[in-house]
Amino acid sequence: MTRFTWGYAYWGAGWLLLGFLAAELAGYYRVAPWPTFSETVWHAIRYPMVGPAVFATLIFLGVHFLYHRPVWHSVAFGIAVALVAHWLDKRL
């Protein structure tokens, strides 16, 4: 197997499916002491900037992974999009 095949196996199946999905399912079915990621965010939303911070992080990761932009450019874009979305949400 090539190095990238190992990368697809580890990061795709290994970490994403076994790590994140296993933790999510364990939280969903209450076999673990933690809630799901979305339940955690919904609970923490009472703190003013948690929603925009989570949204900015997801936007940053998507831009960085999909469009191969430098990390700090992706972070700045994620923050800008999250702040505009937060501002619009309060006005609509």
Q: Could you state, in order of their start, the residue ranges of all structural domains in the chain?
A: 1-35, 45-92
Predicted local confidence at residue 20, as pLDDT: 87
**Proportion of the chain above pLDDT 90, given as a percent:** 51
Q: Count the Cβ atoms, other than its own, within 10 Å of residue 14.
A: 13
Q: Count the Cβ atoms, other than its own, within 10 Å of residue 54.
A: 17
Residue 1 has pLDDT above 90, yes or no: no
In tens, the pLDDT along 56-69 reads 999 999 999 899 99
Which tokens in the block code for residue 33?
A: 């002491």
Q: What is the mean pLDDT of the chain?
A: 89
Predicted local confidence at residue 72, as pLDDT: 94
